Structure 1
Amino acid sequence: MSTPTPTFKQVARRPRWIGVLALCLLVAAVFALLGQWQIDRAVEQGQADERDTETAVPLRSVATPGEPMLSDAGGRMVTVSGDDVAADYRTLAGRNQDGRLGWWVIGRVLVAEPDGRDASLAVALSWSATQERADAAVEALRADAATVGQAELGGRYMPTEAPTQGDVREREREAMSVAALINEWQDWNGLVYSGYLVFDPTVVAEGGATVPGDEPIVHERPVTDTQLNWLNVFYAVEWVAFMVFAFYLWYRLVKDALEREVEAIEDAEAAAV
């Protein structure tokens, strides 16, 4: 009478292999947790910036003259009070406004600091469709600067820009570069905000400054370029592969045990003949 050949299921149900399966499940659970952790890290690093940039706060609460711009200040709506400098109104070429190229009218405001000194703040005031209209706005501002006095300004605080090819090659200023402007400002005392203000006349409803020019400058809430950390995603896929390998290892061990038993039975039957 021949010995019955065991099946894979019968071998797998034996206590020894059930114990090995439990161990493999534990290892796979650890690998799954590690994979989940890697995915969470990848997602966290790809989340958008959710800070409140649209509620206007005093400029001094997020920026300090002479200090680099902090990440919390970039693109933030702020308010500030200061005196304009008539001699420092000028224009910038090549400024985009909803797909149209034109000119910015820019200026300089002196902000009184707690230590009694005045800090300079570059301000982008308005957009004009032609250079002639921008130049006319500059002349109007220079004429009114001596009579307006201190005014409340509101707008979006932006990081300084790098010079463009037009600034260097064509000698036509296009970039709102604070570093370049301080070389042209009249009686600059060395104290300056590292960013500039894009003036928005709607921020300060009463008692705020008004400026000539074709249109207010269009500005938008800052958008953070968010991308997944693909290295962490790759590591997560690796942990999943290790988890699958743990189950495959258990299957292979049971399969090998079954084959050894079947081979032993066949050898015994062959010897008995």
Structure 2
Amino acid sequence: MYRFLLTPRWLGYLALALVAAAVMVLLGNWQHGRYELRKDVNHRIDVTGTATPVPLDTVVAPGGSTGTPGPGPGATTEWTRVTVSGRYDQANIVLVRGRTVDNKVGFEIVTPLRLPDGSAVLVDLGWVPQPPGGGAYTQPVVPPIPSGQVTVTGAVKLSESRGTAVDRAEGKLETRRISVPKLAAELPYPVRGAFVQLDTQVPAADAGFAAIPPDYENDWLNLGYSVQWWLFAAMTLVAFGWAARREARGPRKPDDTPRADDTPQADAVPQGGAAP
């Protein structure tokens, strides 16, 4: 009944269905891997606020040279809570424009923290609003930054990709992304290969800096895509099975079963007489 499946035509259909299903399964596995990675990032964000901070050197190693940042940490170290002490370099404040907090556009203020070994780590102090009536390039009023020794506690953040140009205007560096290599090229000392997003500081940071909310990953989107691809793979195989079953049953024949109104009727007998 199913010998037709061994014909070249149906073997081709089967191969096509199997290849398509295999590709969809692989795509589903890839999306599930992305889900696991993003789920791990969200977990690290959740625990960073209560985790015991570790010294910066244990996560972001020293190294590099003037103009070239040190080695960056691995992706799994992002959001690790660290602590480090030093002095802010107020001569090289960085304004990162076009940053949004609570649906308001403003600037993130990044300042190099000079360390005892002569290097520096970039510290994202927080967000300030865009000046009223000002444009994207209108510099904001930067709240006071301590000039003495400070101890910073915060989360390690990796250098942002797609780094844009760094300009200097009115004594401050301006950029669109916190690209450690781009900013390191503008500073006169070695810079660590990641930056720190400030959580707490001793002495306390100025109240004019707004805390930057964590950027959670949309892991459920990847989970939905993975399930979708796996369902498509199953549907492909089911569709092949349905087509094969229909082929095996052959073309549908007309229903030859007599209907009630098709039953031959006896010749009508004229009234008042017998049939001839």
Amino acid across the alignment from 2:212: V
Distance 2:192 2:161 in 1: 13
Q: Deviations over 1:116-138 (max 9, x none)?
A: x554311110222344531xx3x
Distance 1:184 1:213 in 2: 28
> Out of 191, 204, 211, which is 1:217 matched to?
211
Q: Deviations over 1:227-262 (max 9, x none)?
A: 53687765544323322233234334xx79x9xxxx
Tell me what 2:39 maps to. 50
Superposition map of 1:101-180 within 5 A: 101-110=105-114, 117=117, 119-129=119-129, 130=131, 131=139, 133-134=141-142, 137=143, 140-141=144-145, 144-146=146-148, 148-149=149-150, 151-155=151-155, 157-164=157-164, 167=167, 173-175=174-176, 176-180=178-182
Structure 2: tracts of 5 or more residues without a match = 4-15, 63-69, 132-138, 254-276
The alpha-carbon deviation at position 165 of structure 1 amounts to 7.1
SS in 2 for 1:239: helix
Distance 2:123 2:198 in 1: 7
TM-score by length of 1: 0.57
What's the % identity of the aligned pairs? 15
C-alpha distance 38-177 of structure 1, shift in aligned 2 (>3 A) = closer
Q: Give the conservation status (yes or no) of the 8 Å contact 1:35–1:239.
A: no
Q: Give the conservation status (yes or no) of the 8 Å contact 1:78–1:154.
A: yes
SS in 2 for 1:145: coil
Distance 1:110 1:91 in 2: 14
Distance 1:37 1:220 in 2: 37
The alpha-carbon deviation at position 211 of structure 1 amounts to 1.6
The alpha-carbon deviation at position 83 of structure 1 amounts to 0.9
CA RMSD of aligned residues (A): 4.6
Question: Comparing both structures, which one devotes a greater share of its residues to helix?
Answer: 1
Higher relative contact order (CA closer than 8 Å, sequence separation 6+): 1
The alpha-carbon deviation at position 155 of structure 1 amounts to 3.0
Amino acid across the alignment from 1:133: V
C-alpha distance 218-241 of structure 1, shift in aligned 2 (>3 A) = same
Aligned residue-pair number: 214
Q: Give the conservation status (yes or no) of the 8 Å contact 2:28–2:230.
A: no
C-alpha distance 61-32 of structure 1, shift in aligned 2 (>3 A) = farther
Structure 1: tracts of 5 or more residues without a match = 1-16, 21-30, 202-206, 259-273
